[in-house]
Structure 1
Amino acid sequence: MILTNFATVITKVTKMGDISKYIDFTSGDNGAIVTALKQKTVPVKDWKDCIKDYEPTMHKVCSDTIALKDKGLEKSSRIYIGLEKLLSRRMAEFTFAIPVKRVYSNVTKEDGKPDDKKQAIVKAIEAIYKNVRIDSVNLKRALSYYASCEIFTVWYAVKQKNTLYGFESNFKLKCKTYSPMDGVKLYPLIDELDDMLAMSLEYKKKDANGEEVTFFETYTDNRHYIWKQELSDGGWVEVLHEESEEGEVSGEEIVLMKIPGVYAYRNVPAYDGLTGLREEIEYTLSRNSNVIAYNSAPVLKISGGIKGSEDKGESRRIFRTENGGDVSYVSWSQAIEALKYHVDTMLKLYWMQAQMPDISFENMKGLGNIGFDARQTMLTDAHLKIGDEAGAWIEFLERECNVIKAFLKVFGPKEWKNDIDNIDVEHVITPFIQNDEMAEINRRMKANGGKAIESQLESIQRFGESDDAQATLEQIQKEEKTASENRATAFSIGEQVM
């Protein structure tokens, strides 16, 4: 099998190759079919290994009894830090905290006038994205992608009458994302020409008796199959059938004639290679915590001899010393600066190698009110990092858009069918930055020759507090007209009393 390069997205939803060259679904040997589909053809780090770094409670420091020994009832300090989890979340936020912008082209007639049919198609596509809450979906699957290396989003239609997409439809389009983080194993099958022949997923569900049952689900370009593993002998039984003129047929038909989903993978998680730095921080803090615990108990120093002893029940503790003796507590002085320097250095190296800024509250509170350009400069490295990742994401999003178009051709108006594929959609990913709205307005006005860049109606709509922006504008204009008439009356010579 030909494998793709590092962090490449395999999201083939174009017409597939012939899967029958690899797997015979009509053989009746379900075990052999499932085994063949489990032959993973992409080099992805197993989630079993990734989770040991991603989940803080599974870090080495939590179970190490050699470097951090427990002494009887006194347990050693074990401080774990979820830097991998934080890094994955932060990369997802930098990628999709600002929603993806979709730019549509080829939506006008040859004379440059708007094409109402294509405009309606654009609105339908946007309505589909809106109703599946695509911005939230992007954040969730980005976290899974950066943390567990692979995701698969399947799109499906449920029978439900609606007018959500600008036309009367009997179907509503939905999507669901699977990843190893959810306990789902993904098995893409890719041929020598780098075309995806099948996409399979294995997951577990509890039956009516509360027992876990394993299911194996496969999507090809024309069929959808589901098998269930028997608890008794471990064999596989097909559970999805379809009736046809020839009788019962395995699986169900996929009318799109393409896999109704998109798959993305990367060879290693976003935090690969950073484990050593994080472990050094954890062990340093844990060892120091043990030292603090040992030395925090007060130590009494007695100089000279003690004369007599304290009687039982005395209200005050009195030490009688002789020969110029003294009694005092010894205060422990720790070399804290060396420890702080070491931990700070490890943290700086961690975020530097991850190409992500440490935007914790402690770091941000000292910046003050810096300008937009200064913020952009500070986040240069992070934006370059997201730029590296954006290529794979854009390919993924474009393939996903093609799936949505395929669904629209099936359940959308018939007159749209020939125009849907002619509409080009460009996906623009904007790395996160805190926007300075005033700076942006001034920049746009300057580029526009100092003139207004939006109408009053657009300004009211952008503010978003009015339920009816047009009515609000008309009320403002009415009030301005009344105020203008009042001013004119006040300064009218004929109306003034001398």
Structure 2
Amino acid sequence: MTIEELLEKSGSELTNVINELRNGRNTPEPNSKEYAAQYDPKLHEVNDRRKRPDKLVVVDKDSDEYGEVKRINPNVELTTEQGFRIEPVARIALAIQKLIVKRAVAFTFGNPVTYNANPEDEAQKALLQAVNRVFYDVKEETLNRRIARSLYSTTEVAELWYPVETEPHELYGFKKNIKFKVAVFSPMFGDRLYPYFDEARDLIAFSREFTRKDRDLITRTYFETYTKDKHYLWSCEGLETTNGGNWKLVEGYPKDITIGKIPIIYASQPQVEWEDVQSLIDRLEKLLSNFADTNDYHASPKIFVQGKVVGFARKGEAGAIIEGEQGATAQYLSWANAPESVKLEIDTLLRMIYTITQTPDISFDTVKGLGAISGIALQLLFMDAHLKVQDKTEIFSEYLQRRINVLKAFMGQANINWKEAANRLIVEPKITPYIIEDELSKINILQAANGQKQIASRKATIQRLGWAENVDDEEAAIQAEEDREKSYYQGEPTL
């Protein structure tokens, strides 16, 4: 049964149609709630009072259980009238998951994506300029980072390209009353994505389920499906589940899709970026929280006294003296290298987290002692992160290529004169991993290859520096200063 035949069903069978569209995935649906809890430090297990309960302290000094006792039922709230008080424990949650994602996004799309193309005629050149104009309007650099952030933190993301009516304009090189926009679909925003693949693993339909409160203040669940020919939208009241729902087609749908392609670009990966180190992060947070509790109890000096204390100095008194009976002794209690094992485990956990996720540790404490290093040293320093970007290229090369193909199809439809050019123009996206450039080393290499000759004009270097607002005026001013330095008087000047 084709997707068109499936979507032609109506009435009471709509639930079966929607369930079939949900079951077309070739990978399991991501556990968005679990990933969101891991991504947000406020939702980490160390902040869960059921998994890390506060301490129970008996405040009655005459009680045999005076001091900290084991809380039998953490769900029962006790009051001071019962002779107890609650002592909050330390809860140190680290945003390491966010850091891993941020670094991965920065290294993947820290440099703008370049698009290599060789237009063969004027139509292809104009088409390429129109595509670049669309990228400028939708802020493509920011869009790429949003896409990567969603993919890395939820394992999947999609974007929808669509035209909107506007006042007539010529921004794309021809007069038209539409502009092209893009919308991002992600589990981060509450969307549930359902790509539908056939036996050949080709995407033949894409669906999105979302919930919103409409203007009539009624909460409805919507399920929309895109094919290469139609856009369907169904709705039902309430928070619908996969077990059923009173679905109905929204008025005005289905709508025609005229470009002959599904206007959706979809990407997925097997797991979130921190999947392999989640247990290490949990252990690190628990270790730091326990160590903080230990500091609360033992960081301040404690005095152990043998014998009876007769007198003790007042608080803040200089030259304090403890007076005791004959034979009484007093000494400070101190740890015997206890924190060293904790420090070793913390350092090991951090190192393994960075290593396994291929995340470079570029914190201030790490890089402050590096000094000036060469371009080759920088490449070696970030080699692991760059290898990770190369792995991600398997996903994003196909993703960005499909984005170009969808835009070319829209342009070919908007301007019938570009239809053939849209079919023939080849545009290849290229991702360049981010790195701090050692420009001096690059200049030396280029000069050596050029026989130690000049490799840039004065005007180009002034423009590259960016200090002058008008490059031509600045070049003229420099030339005038050089001319004055070369001029001189011979003999005494005469009037």
TM-score class normalised by the smaller sequence = 0.7 to 0.9
Which consecutive unaligned segments of at least 5 residues does structure 2 have?
A: 58-85
Alpha-carbon offset, residue 330 of structure 1: 4.1
1:438 aligned residue (440, 454, 466): 440
Q: Deviations over 1:356-407 (max 9, x none)?
A: 2112222122222222111101111111111111121111000000001011
* Aligned: 1:255 with 2:240: no
- Mean alpha-carbon deviation: is it higher for 270-279 or for 24-33? 24-33
Partner of 2:165: 159
Partner of 1:410: 413
SS of equivalent residue, structure 2 residue 308: strand
- Mean alpha-carbon deviation: is it higher for 164-173 or for 143-152? 164-173
Please give the residue correspondences for 1:167-182 in structure 2 after superposition, counting only pairs within 5 Å. 167-182=174-189
* Aligned: 1:140 with 2:146: yes
Partner of 2:325: 322
Alpha-carbon offset, residue 223 of structure 1: 0.9
Alpha-carbon offset, residue 346 of structure 1: 0.8
Alpha-carbon offset, residue 188 of structure 1: 0.5
Is the 8 Å Cα contact of residues 24 and 33 (structure 1) preserved in structure 2? no
C-alpha separation in 2, matches of 1:480 and 1:273 = 58
* Aligned: 1:380 with 2:383: yes
Structure 1 pair 464/132, CA: closer, same or farther in 2 (3 Å)? farther
1:36 aligned residue (14, 20, 26): 20
Please give the residue correspondences for 1:302-381 in structure 2 after superposition, counting only pairs within 5 Å. 302-307=305-310, 320-323=323-326, 325=328, 330-331=333-334, 335-381=338-384
Is the 8 Å Cα contact of residues 220 and 239 (structure 2) preserved in structure 1? no
2:431 aligned residue (429, 433, 438): 429
Is the 8 Å Cα contact of residues 50 and 147 (structure 1) preserved in structure 2? yes
Partner of 1:111: none
Alpha-carbon offset, residue 237 of structure 1: 2.2
Is the 8 Å Cα contact of residues 151 and 265 (structure 1) preserved in structure 2? yes
* Aligned: 1:55 with 2:45: no
Instruction: Supply the AA of the counterpart residue of 2:92.
Output: I
1:215 aligned residue (222, 244, 250): 222
Structure 1 pair 147/122, CA: closer, same or farther in 2 (3 Å)? same
C-alpha separation in 2, matches of 1:389 and 1:312 = 66
C-alpha separation in 2, matches of 1:104 and 1:120 = 12
Alpha-carbon offset, residue 332 of structure 1: 5.2
C-alpha separation in 2, matches of 1:318 and 1:489 = 85
Q: TM-score scaled to structure 2, two decimals? A: 0.83
Alpha-carbon offset, residue 175 of structure 1: 0.6
SS of equivalent residue, structure 1 residue 421: helix
Instruction: Supply the AA of the counterpart residue of 1:168.
Output: K
SS of equivalent residue, structure 2 residue 207: strand
SS of equivalent residue, structure 1 residue 167: coil
Partner of 1:269: 272
2:208 aligned residue (201, 218, 235): 201
SS of equivalent residue, structure 1 residue 377: helix
Size of the aligned set, in residue pairs, is 459
Structure 1 pair 130/69, CA: closer, same or farther in 2 (3 Å)? same
Percent identity reads 31
Alpha-carbon offset, residue 490 of structure 1: 3.8
C-alpha separation in 1, matches of 2:42 and 2:93 = 7
Alpha-carbon offset, residue 65 of structure 1: 4.7
Structure 1 pair 454/28, CA: closer, same or farther in 2 (3 Å)? farther
Is the 8 Å Cα contact of residues 303 and 330 (structure 2) preserved in structure 1? yes
Is the 8 Å Cα contact of residues 237 and 246 (structure 2) preserved in structure 1? yes
C-alpha separation in 2, matches of 1:168 and 1:32 = 45
Is the 8 Å Cα contact of residues 208 and 225 (structure 2) preserved in structure 1? yes
Alpha-carbon offset, residue 210 of structure 1: 4.1
Instruction: Supply the AA of the counterpart residue of 2:378.
Output: R
Partner of 1:81: 94
SS of equivalent residue, structure 1 residue 193: coil
- Mean alpha-carbon deviation: is it higher for 479-488 or for 155-164? 479-488
Is the 8 Å Cα contact of residues 18 and 197 (structure 1) preserved in structure 2? no
Partner of 1:112: none
C-alpha separation in 2, matches of 1:460 and 1:116 = 33
Q: CA RMSD in A?
A: 3.2
Is the 8 Å Cα contact of residues 6 and 17 (structure 2) preserved in structure 1? no
SS of equivalent residue, structure 1 residue 174: strand
Structure 1 pair 466/489, CA: closer, same or farther in 2 (3 Å)? closer
Q: TM-score scaled to structure 1, two decimals? A: 0.83
Alpha-carbon offset, residue 325 of structure 1: 3.9
Is the 8 Å Cα contact of residues 229 and 235 (structure 1) preserved in structure 2? yes
Is the 8 Å Cα contact of residues 103 and 427 (structure 1) preserved in structure 2? yes
C-alpha separation in 1, matches of 2:149 and 2:400 = 16
Q: Deviations over 1:140-172 (max 9, x none)?
A: 110110110101110011111333223322111
Partner of 1:295: 298
2:131 aligned residue (117, 121, 125): 125
C-alpha separation in 2, matches of 1:463 and 1:168 = 38
Alpha-carbon offset, residue 22 of structure 1: 4.1
Q: Deviations over 1:167-188 (max 9, x none)?
A: 3221111111111111100000
SS of equivalent residue, structure 2 residue 248: strand
- Mean alpha-carbon deviation: is it higher for 429-438 or for 61-70? 61-70
Alpha-carbon offset, residue 128 of structure 1: 1.0
2:8 aligned residue (13, 24, 27): 24
1:46 aligned residue (31, 55, 58): 31
Partner of 1:244: none
Structure 1 pair 466/175, CA: closer, same or farther in 2 (3 Å)? farther
Instruction: Supply the AA of the counterpart residue of 1:343.
Output: I
Partner of 2:103: 90
C-alpha separation in 1, matches of 2:129 and 2:391 = 31
C-alpha separation in 2, matches of 1:415 and 1:347 = 58
Alpha-carbon offset, residue 269 of structure 1: 1.3
Structure 1 pair 386/486, CA: closer, same or farther in 2 (3 Å)? closer
- Mean alpha-carbon deviation: is it higher for 454-463 or for 124-133? 454-463
Is the 8 Å Cα contact of residues 226 and 251 (structure 1) preserved in structure 2? yes
Is the 8 Å Cα contact of residues 204 and 213 (structure 1) preserved in structure 2? yes
Is the 8 Å Cα contact of residues 219 and 259 (structure 1) preserved in structure 2? yes
SS of equivalent residue, structure 1 residue 323: coil
C-alpha separation in 1, matches of 2:107 and 2:155 = 17
* Aligned: 1:397 with 2:381: no
SS of equivalent residue, structure 1 residue 90: helix
Instruction: Supply the AA of the counterpart residue of 1:172.
Output: K
- Mean alpha-carbon deviation: is it higher for 397-406 or for 191-200? 191-200
Which consecutive unaligned segments of at least 5 residues does structure 1 have?
A: 1-16, 109-114, 242-249
SS of equivalent residue, structure 1 residue 202: strand
- Mean alpha-carbon deviation: is it higher for 365-374 or for 68-77? 68-77
Instruction: Supply the AA of the counterpart residue of 1:184.
Output: D
Instruction: Supply the AA of the counterpart residue of 1:235.
Output: N
SS of equivalent residue, structure 1 residue 31: helix
